[in-house]
Amino acid sequence: MKIKTFSYDQLDTFVHRLSGLSKLICFLLLTTAIMVTYDIRIIAGIMVLSFTIMKISKIPLSRIRLMLVYVFIFLAFNFVLTYLFAPEYGVEIYGTRHEIFSFGGRYTVTLEQLFYQVTKFSKYLSVIPLGIIFILTTNPSEFASSLNRIGISYKICTSLALTLRYFPDVADDYNQIALAQQARGIEMSAKASVMQRLKRMASILIPLIMTTMERIETIANAMDLRGFGKHKKRTWYAAKPLNRSDYLSILVCVVILGVSLFVRFRINHGIYWNPFI
C-alpha cells in the first residue's frame, strides 16, 4: 500500500505512543526555546534532539525528501538575500570586525556576518524536524480529542483534524493532476525550461482548487446530514489519556525552554551569544 506524503502512519514507537496533546505542547515549548534566542549552542542542541527523535519515529527520508528540498531552497535564498541587503549586520550586532575577504565596495565577508547568518540558518532549520514529527506521528482524531479534553470547542477540534487529514489528499491530488497533464503531452520534467515549468505548475492550481471545493462541499453535506454541531458536547473514539511518558516528555521540554531563557537573560544578557568578546 502506498503511503501518502504528509499522512499519519501508525507505528509502534515511543513518539507515536505519546498523546497528541503532549506532542503539541512539546512542539510549542521547543519552538519557543528556539525563537527566544540566537545562541547557536542552544539551537544546535535542539536540532540534534529533533533529528534524533525523527530517527526514533522511523520516518523514512523518501516521504519528506521533496519538502526538505523546498526548505533548503528557501533557506539558501534567505541566506543570500540577508547578505545582499545587510552585509554588515553581524558587525553591528557583535561590535567587532574580522574581515575574511571582500567582493569590492560595501560587500565584504566578515566572521561576524558569517556567524550571524549560520546561526539564523540553523534557527530556521531546527524548527522543520519538529513540525515534521508532529504532523507524521499524530493521529488527527486523537489529537482533536485531546484538545477537546482541555476545553477547546469540539467544532474547532474537528476542523483541525480535517485539516491535518486533508494535507496528504491535496498532495495526492496535485500529483494526479500533474501526471494527467503529462499524459496529455504537457512537458513538466527537467527537459522544459524553468519558466515553462512554473507556468504549467500554476495551471494545476485551477483544477486543484475545483477538486478541493468539491471535497469540502461533500464533507460539509455529510456532516450536516449527521447533525454535526447540534449538541454542545460529543464523544470521541480516539481519546487517549496522558500517561507517564507524556508528562516526562513535557517536563524535558519545559527544562529545555528554561535553559534557553536562563542562557538568554542570565548568561548572554540578550538574545545573541557573542563569541568574539
| DSSP string of 164-206, one letter each residue | HHHHHHHHHHHHHHHHHHHHTT---STTS-HHHHHHHHHHHHH
Residue 214: Cβ-neighbour burial (10 angstroms; 0-12, 13-18, 19+): exposed
Q: List the chain residues with pLDDT less than 70.
A: 1-8, 187-192, 194, 197
Question: What is the C-alpha to C-alpha distance for residues 125 and 172, in angstroms, rounded to an integer?
Answer: 26
Whether 22 contacts 249, CB under 8 Å: yes
Whether 141 contacts 103, CB under 8 Å: no
- CA-based nearest residue to 243, from 23, 27, 31: 23
Note the pLDDT tens digit of each residue in 143-178.
888 788 778 888 888 888 887 777 777 777 777 877
The reported pLDDT for the residue numbered 192 is 66
Half-sphere exposure of 74 (CA within 13 A, CB side): 10
Residue 109: Cβ-neighbour burial (10 angstroms; 0-12, 13-18, 19+): middle
The reported pLDDT for the residue numbered 187 is 67
The reported pLDDT for the residue numbered 41 is 94
